Structure 1
């Protein structure tokens, strides 16, 4: 009987812990569009709530209908919504996350530099280490966190002017506050 109680207690404890983790990592996103008075293409607005923060992405089309995004991060407080930096969302181990993201970006950069069709454009990118606060953060439809960087190389090389690193929430969970 004693063993049954111990096993039952372990099962209940484990299942409660799993349920708590599922709720802690729940992301709620909404996507909408609004008319852009300056262009024929709509502005795309995407907001995602995650761990008392609001992640906002605003997509604006250029004259060819290609979208570039601006990213903002807000802390949802009981009385107010405050704009914060990316580093405010992560814990002290975020430097490891920053390093990991940069390693993935560098691998992609080096790989793309070898592709003849885009190698000339890749030369315009002054690749360096990017700080966590330089990334735009959004979420995919599969509840993955996406770190976006704009290399700032102009519209002639639009197809390589930005890059993103997508990570599973389980990969970044250890870096969250």
Structure 2
């Protein structure tokens, strides 16, 4: 069975899914944008899990392009998968790191047995990645990851905060066929 890729215009923190993906900062201790919203709505359990990770294998923080899971606290999900997107650069091609965020998040989701995964548009806020390019990279990375491991994940949902993001992801999905 092929996984579905869907688009939703809305708030990631209101999604019902097995795993919500957090566009985290490397500290894993919360921040602005999606990161801050998930921490606030999910409650202190998420931060407590993140602190345990920092006290253990991620003492120096989570590297860009990698992913790690915690509880989802009070969110309507079983897990939050934290991934650190790259800051966009006009002179340094970091697209492989952005694609890695999606691949590693899906790998983590599959290891957890998650069947539904909801993503934001990683790196498009404070990290300034141009939306159309970020959408193209995200859609291709997700489609490639699902094709390589068609097992566990059954739905990938891109949850997009505004109409501009929604249109960019809609165009990227159409271009990928």
Please say whether Structure 1 and Structure 2 have the same fold, judged by a TM-score greater than 0.5: no
More strand by share: 1
- Give the alignment's TM-score, normalised by structure 1: 0.25
More helix by share: 2
Of structures 1 and 2, the one with the larger relative CO (CA 8 A, separation 6+) is: 2
- Give the alignment's TM-score, normalised by structure 2: 0.25
Which one has the largest radius of gyration?
A: 1
